[in-house]
Amino acid sequence: MVSNNSSIIIDFEPISRRLYHKKNENFYQLLVNSGIRVTSLCGGLGTCGKCKLLVQEGIKYLNPPTDSEKKLLTEEEINENFRLACQCYIVEDQIDFIEKHPQPQIRVFLPQELLVEDFKILTTGLNKGVNLNPNVKKVFIEVDKPSLKTPIPDLERIVSALSTTTIINKLQLEPSFEFETLKKIPLALRKDNHLITLTLYEENKIIDCEAGNTIANSYGIAFDIGTTTLVGYLINLNDGKIYSIASALNPQTAYGEDVVSRITYIKNNKEGLLKLNTTVLNALNLIIDETCAEAKISPSQIYEATFVGNSVMHHIFLNIDPIYIGLSPYVPALKKDLNILAKDINLRINRGGYAYILPLIAGYVGADTTGVILSSEIDEESDLTLAIDVGTNGEIVVGNKDILATGSCAAGSALEGAHIKSGMRAAAGAIDTLKIDPTDLSVGYTTINNKKPIGICGSGIIDAAAEMLKSKVITRSGNFNKQLIDHKNFIKEDKNLEFILVRKDQTSINRDITISQKDIRELQMAKAAFYSGARIILNYLNQTNEPNLKIKQIYLAGAFGNYINKGNAKFIGMIPDISDEYIYQIGNAAGVGAQNCLLNIELRDKARKLIEKINYVEIAVAQEFQKEYAQAMYFPHLNLENFPSLTEYNDISKR
């Protein structure tokens, strides 16, 4: 609206943010640098077309549409002044600009689907429960006072007092003092008459010294660092209860939607790794502040934080370059679990506090999968169990108490709404469940938060495919049914057929929400990746153990796995044909794994043994991969005998 010294002001609606545009900055960079998280798959390269915005006033001050925009926007959109944030910028030199336009009017509207807000984040998960045996324990002691006859240093008098307590009598090792603790000792001792509380980490490491009795104030926080979402669980280490939970979108999303685009960002930007690292640490520190505010405690009362996350999130979080995870042979820098001083990674808990990071299994099977195994206890099951953690990459585990194997399938991000024309993440206004009436092809649906629909998220897409199959809108090979394409629900868009789910007057975006032929293909690739991945791991176990092993139960982990209609997931052939009662939706199992490791240190030993024991299968290089994958592209599979319980297919197949 008005200029302020050397920057130009732009008003962004509907968020009512007034930003100062700087020279050589496009609108995408301006938004990201201002902390506004916007949708982008390509991280601002102008190839994904997701960062669409509407210039309401002041289009004349902007550069003309670029080739990228001409390709990714329709002619109509360009005429309406839609632009891609990463392609548009103010043309003139800013000083000239201010001189020439004393009161320029620039106003930009950010469509709701651009804004990364209001997301549905799964924080709960099935918890089988663990005994309380945390790594952090507090002990309250009275210390002798020094005298001229016995001028014993503070530290030695503390060690001597500690040796009389039961907690330290069990110790084999001499207590060691964290440097941060040493600094606190002289004042803490004299503040409350030589009565102090010590915080012990790993039995003998003393990481805090406080005046008086502070035993009640002992907390830990468990983190799940997802590619898309971050969740923190604040837990009191005296009773093992969760006192508060906070979640946020992973702000790294502004630099790329999935792990591959974030690796690309790091490769292409000199300070890229540090930038992504700082970004996620800031967000984690905000989660700490938020959980502490809710529980009315200070972050200095948190002594340990535990972490799960996929290997790329893990490396970035630790400021370790992840680029070699993205290059064959996809090795991580390390997989072992780590204990690191929280201050060394700029995590703002107690200055002497520690971070525990669960071990990775392989480059593409991360600490999140370790967490899933720990919390679901697949490794203690009698029956052979398939667990899948559904995300951009699908992690697959097959095993029981005797055998265990895992692998990763490149599911793509279709199930997160990416690469789907009307796709979106599970945010407010996303169609999450859907039914089609076979008699008239009318579509019934629900949306998240009951808002007017904006798009369709993963669970809705699975429902759409299953319902389109049942109502014969598509065939088992995934093609539109030629006999129905004259139905009013089909429209032709750029010569391609699309099936309308919601007509534009019913949406809040004034555009039809549709499923295109390409969308069906994306879904087929995703579900085939899961199914064939599970098959290849099972084949591996059949070869290395007894043949003809059969999967007896399925665990669906992850946010997405929690919200899908399991019957429909099976109907489209994403998961094997098991009776619904043996398919369990176990929620954020990775996060529960992090919690359990906070509560009981023995699980960390178990994790170390697990990653040595588990077999890693490189799915994409398996001999039979191409064949398995191609067969799984069909709904539910090329060979119907794999899905004997799905009797509806007899009817569908008649066509």
Q: Is 330 in the site for a second copy (CB under 8 A)?
A: yes
Task: Quote the CA–CA distance of 643 and 655 in Å, as a whole number.
Answer: 19
Give least dist CB 409 to a second copy, A.
16
* Burial (CB count <10 Å: 0-12, 13-18, 19+), residue 107: middle
Give least dist CB 156 to a second copy, A.
7
Long-range pairs for 603-607 at CB < 8 Å and ≥24 separation? 603/130, 603/374, 604/135, 604/337, 604/356, 604/358, 606/374, 607/337, 607/358, 607/359, 607/370, 607/374
Among 148, 169, 439, 543, binds a second copy (CB under 8 A): 148
Among 191, 621, 626, 653, binds a second copy (CB under 8 A): 621
Task: Quote the CA–CA distance of 201 and 20 in Å, as a whole number.
Answer: 47
Piece of the chain touching a second copy by CB under 8 A; list 62-70, 255-263, 313-321, 425-433: 313-321
Give residues with Cβ within 8 angstroms of 324, minimum separation 6: 330, 331, 332, 333
Give least dist CB 321 to a second copy, A.
5
Q: Is 623 in the site for a second copy (CB under 8 A)?
A: no
Is residue 174 within 8 Å of residue 156, measured between CB atoms?
A: no
Backbone conformation region of residue 46, classed left if phi is above 0, alpha if psi is from -120 to 50, else beta: left
Among 300, 319, 508, 615, binds a second copy (CB under 8 A): 319
| Residue 502 φ/ψ, nearest 5 degrees | -135, 130
Give least dist CB 591 to a second copy, A.
24
Piece of the chain touching a second copy by CB under 8 A; list 2-10, 154-162, 253-261, 507-515: 154-162
Task: Quote the CA–CA distance of 163 and 155 in Å, as a whole number.
Answer: 12
Give least dist CB 635 to a second copy, A.
32
Q: Which is nearer to a second copy, 220 or 332 (CB)?
A: 332
Measured CA angle at 71 (ends 65, 77), to 5 deg: 60
Q: Which is nearer to a second copy, 362 or 646 (CB)?
A: 362
Q: Is 263 in the site for a second copy (CB under 8 A)?
A: no
Give least dist CB 189 to a second copy, A.
9
Q: Which is nearer to a second copy, 110 or 614 (CB)?
A: 614
**Alpha-helix residue ranges (DSSP H) falling in 163-205:** 166-169, 179-191
Q: Which is nearer to a second copy, 186 or 567 (CB)?
A: 186
Q: How far is CA 205 from CA 118, 596, 609, in A?
A: 42, 21, 24
Partners of residue 308 on adjacent β-strands: 224
* Three-state secondary-structure class, residue 545: coil
Task: Quote the CA–CA distance of 580 and 105 in Å, as a whole number.
Answer: 58
Q: Which is nearer to a second copy, 126 or 333 (CB)?
A: 333
Q: Is 152 in the site for a second copy (CB under 8 A)?
A: yes
Sign of CA dihedral 115, 268, 325, 630: positive
Q: Is 328 in the site for a second copy (CB under 8 A)?
A: yes
Size of the site for a second copy (CB under 8 A): 44
Among 137, 262, 335, 606, binds a second copy (CB under 8 A): 335
Q: Which is nearer to a second copy, 153 or 438 (CB)?
A: 153
Q: Which is nearer to a second copy, 112 or 306 (CB)?
A: 306
Give least dist CB 340 to a second copy, A.
5
Q: Is 367 in the site for a second copy (CB under 8 A)?
A: no
**Contacts with a second copy, 172-211, as mask; x by CB under 8 A:** -----x-x--xx-xxx--x---------------------
Among 9, 126, 286, 334, binds a second copy (CB under 8 A): 334
Give least dist CB 336 to a second copy, A.
7
* Burial (CB count <10 Å: 0-12, 13-18, 19+), residue 16: exposed
Give least dist CB 476 to a second copy, A.
34
Give residues with Cβ within 8 angstroms of 401, minimum separation 6: 379, 380, 381, 382
Residue type, 433: T
Among 5, 79, 170, 329, binds a second copy (CB under 8 A): 329
Give least dist CB 338 to a second copy, A.
7
Q: Is 352 in the site for a second copy (CB under 8 A)?
A: no
**Alpha-helix residue ranges (DSSP H) falling in 354-422:** 367-376
Is residue 237 within 8 Å of residue 220, measured between CB atoms?
A: yes
Among 5, 16, 147, 548, binds a second copy (CB under 8 A): 147
Is residue 125 within 8 Å of residue 588, measured between CB atoms?
A: yes
Q: Is 332 in the site for a second copy (CB under 8 A)?
A: yes
Q: Which is nearer to a second copy, 187 or 293 (CB)?
A: 187
Among 344, 380, 402, 437, binds a second copy (CB under 8 A): 344
Among 80, 93, 142, 156, binds a second copy (CB under 8 A): 156
Task: Quote the CA–CA distance of 548 and 536 in Å, as a whole number.
Answer: 13
Among 360, 398, 430, 586, binds a second copy (CB under 8 A): 360
DSSP characters over 486-519: TSTTEEEETTEEEEEEE-GGGSSSSS-EEEEHHH
Among 45, 59, 333, 578, binds a second copy (CB under 8 A): 333
Which positions touch a second copy (CB under 8 A)? 146-148, 150-156, 177, 179, 182-183, 185-187, 190, 318-321, 323-324, 328-336, 338, 340-341, 344-345, 360, 362-363, 616, 618, 621
